[in-house]
Amino acid sequence: MVETKQGGTGRSETRANLVEVAARLLREQGPAAVTTRGVAQAAGVQAPTIYRLFGDKDGLLDAVAEHVFAAYVAGKALADDSGDPVADLRAGWDVHIGFGLANAALFGLLVAPGRASRSPATSAGLEVLRARVRRVAATGRLRVAEHRAVELIHAAGTGAVLTLLAMPPQERDPGLADAMYDMVTRSILTRPAGPEPAAEPAPAPTGDSTTAAAVAFRTVVPRLPKLTDIERALLSEWLDRAVES
């Protein structure tokens, strides 16, 4: 087994190769296959190379999770804006559920508290969700604070994937994630304008329209040109209190 040189381009290429090999082993054989010896052997390098480049196996797993999830987040961020923020929010949910079910072992790594809290890719994914929620808020369809909507969608999406992954594949109910999404959106969205469909539940409380207006106005406060920074901060605080009261 030949050791690849560890300087400049050689070091970078060796690291990238190790991450790719570990990602493949994780995807095809699960976490048990991602051992220092197994990855080094499959990549054609000596085991000490992994320690020099990643510190230990956990460091390698962090790099694998970051690599795969970063590619997913980049694709999600570049997804076309359909012009319908609510439809785009649903599309993002469907992509998230599909990614989790297709990458079971990796998803478990990504949502582990220790890794999720320090992952730039996870933070970037949340920023994509926040941007989509903000677009919904700007249309006047959001009846809770933006941060609350993000937290609910993120928690529900993670929970739905983990619940489905805990089931044998043949017993998974594809409608579970749909039902979870419907429950969340009923708690965070106002009704669209227009006649009420006969099958829909009773209209939301009238206070929702006032809250939705406050949430929508909150999205434009940072761009109001004639206010000082202090005035913008004060106005934002008032609107936040109105939403959460």
pLDDT (0 to 100) of residue 202: 41
* Statement to judge: residues 47 and 79 lie in one domain: no
* Statement to judge: residues 45 and 66 lie in one domain: no
User: The domain spanning residue 18 has which CATH number?
Assistant: 1.10.10.60
List, in sequence order, the alpha helices (H) in the chain: 8-29, 36-43, 47-54, 57-77, 85-102, 104-111, 113-116, 120-138, 146-165, 175-188, 207-220, 229-244
Q: What is d(CA 92, CA 126) in angstroms, rounded to the nearest whole number? A: 11
pLDDT (0 to 100) of residue 226: 65
pLDDT band at 245 (very low <50, low <70, confident <90, very high): low
| Residues 228-238, mean pLDDT to the nearest whole number | 72
% of the chain surpassing 90 pLDDT: 35
DSSP 107-153: HHHHHSHHHHTT-HHHHHHHHHHHHHHHHHHHTT-B-S-HHHHHHHH
* Statement to judge: residues 10 and 97 lie in one domain: no
* Statement to judge: residues 31 and 125 lie in one domain: no
Residue range 68-98, pLDDT digits in tens: 877 777 776 666 678 899 999 999 999 889 9
pLDDT (0 to 100) of residue 113: 73
* Statement to judge: residues 82 and 47 lie in one domain: no
* Statement to judge: residues 40 and 101 lie in one domain: no
Distance of CA 179 to the CA centre of its chain: 19
Residue range 92-142, pLDDT digits in tens: 999 889 988 988 888 887 777 776 666 777 788 888 899 999 999 999 999
Residue, of 149 and 80, whose pLDDT is higher: 149
132 contact partners, CB below 8 Å, separation of at least 6: 85, 88, 89, 92
Judged against a pLDDT cut of 50, whether residue 54 lies above it is answered with yes
Residue 133 CB-half CA count within 13 A: 26
Judged against a pLDDT cut of 90, whether residue 154 lies above it is answered with yes
pLDDT (0 to 100) of residue 17: 92
* Statement to judge: residues 24 and 84 lie in one domain: no
Please list the residues that pair with 189 across neighbouring strands: 142
Residue, of 78 and 223, whose pLDDT is higher: 223
* Statement to judge: residues 75 and 40 lie in one domain: no
pLDDT band at 217 (very low <50, low <70, confident <90, very high): low
Indicate the SS3 state at residue 189: strand
Domain-ending residue, one of 40, 55, 70: 55
* Statement to judge: residues 16 and 100 lie in one domain: no
Range of the domain at 190: 62-244
- Number of residues assigned to the chain: 245
* Statement to judge: residues 68 and 13 lie in one domain: no
pLDDT (0 to 100) of residue 76: 67
* Statement to judge: residues 38 and 72 lie in one domain: no
* Statement to judge: residues 234 and 122 lie in one domain: yes
Residue, of 28 and 210, whose pLDDT is higher: 28
Residue range 163-205, pLDDT digits in tens: 999 999 899 998 999 999 999 999 999 887 655 444 444 444 4
Say how many domains are in the chain: 2
Residue, of 26 and 208, whose pLDDT is higher: 26
